[in-house]
Amino acid sequence: YYFPCQRWLAVEEDDGQIVRELVPVDEAFVKKDSENEGQSPATLGLEQKAKSTTYTVKVKTGDKKNAGTDANVFIILYGSKDDTGTVSLKASKINKNKFERGKVDEFTVESVDIGDLKKIKIGHDNKGNSTGWFLEWVEIDAPSLGECLKFPCGRWLDKSEDDGAIERIIFPAKLQTREYIPFVPYEITVYTSDIFGAGTDADVFIVLYGSDGICTQQKSLCLNKREQRMYFERNSVNQFIVELEDVGDMIEKIRIGHTGGGLNSGWHLDRVAIRRLLPNGK
């Protein structure tokens, strides 16, 4: 069994996770990758990412005195097929200081397919100066399922408040579930030209258009500024797996560009290749 990773396990990198679930890939794929020096070293990591589901987890801390916590918060998502295991919520995409009074924090959780989301367990390790926490709610958006679920809590996770519990199992509020057409993963390969000054450090985004006027949201290809500096260099090939709205079998056109920020924003784009990945990873 081959379990390639080739991704960061770091709070400040990629999706901020320091624990990853890895799925096996075909042996021939590994050998093909090692024999072909021209391939990107991240290809195997992308192969796994295409088999994974990405969840956006929003956590609201209550607006009460001493509601925030300095403890280490974790979450487990339980589905109809499997669970995610314990995931540390370390890198908030919104706030540098996470779990502060009245604030909403956002995290990315990546997992193998766990099926329909049934419940969550959320808690903390009670370590630090201010450990008690008042959790208002958790919202989990699962684009591959086409569901955004709300898990109301409205209780303390504090050894000296409420029932003294520092972890809770919460079920979704069915009336607050928002459903939409499930997203699908696209493999997007970007080729930057081999001419002087071709590369860019700007934030590159893409929109896909299908028939009948269907289009995706505008999506940045890089997760952070570090990736912007790494990718889209002169004569480079960069590959991304992006979950977007399903525009159907025919992609009629794309819109690709950048925000113009940074010192070297000008970009000479050679071409873009896109594959719509089907559920079996084809």
Q: Is residue 162 part of a domain?
A: yes
Q: Rounded to whole angstroms, how far apart are CA atoms 70 and 73?
A: 9
* pLDDT of residue 221 exceeding 90: yes
Range of the domain at 124: 53-179
The verdict on pTM exceeding 0.85 is: no
Q: Is residue 43 part of a domain?
A: no
Strand ranges of the sheet holding 237-245, from the earlier edge strand across to the other edge: 237-245, 183-192, 269-276
Same domain, 194 and 133: no
pLDDT band at 281 (very low <50, low <70, confident <90, very high): very low
Q: What is the mean pLDDT of the chain?
A: 86
What is the per-residue DSSP string for 65-78? TT----SPEEEEEE
Specify the DSSP element, H or E, that contains 43: helix 43-51
Domain total in the chain: 2
Provide the token pair at 14. 């990629």
* pLDDT of residue 31 exceeding 60: no
pLDDT of residue 97: 92
Q: Rounded to whole angstroms, how far apart are CA atoms 184 and 219?
A: 14
Same domain, 93 and 129: yes
Same domain, 196 and 172: no
pLDDT of residue 54: 87
Look at residues 141, 162, 179 and tell me which one is the last residue of a structural domain: 179
* pLDDT of residue 282 exceeding 70: no
Same domain, 59 and 158: yes
CATH number at residue 100: 2.60.60.20
Look at residues 146, 179, 212 and tell me which one is the last residue of a structural domain: 179
Mean predicted confidence (pLDDT) in 8-26: 75
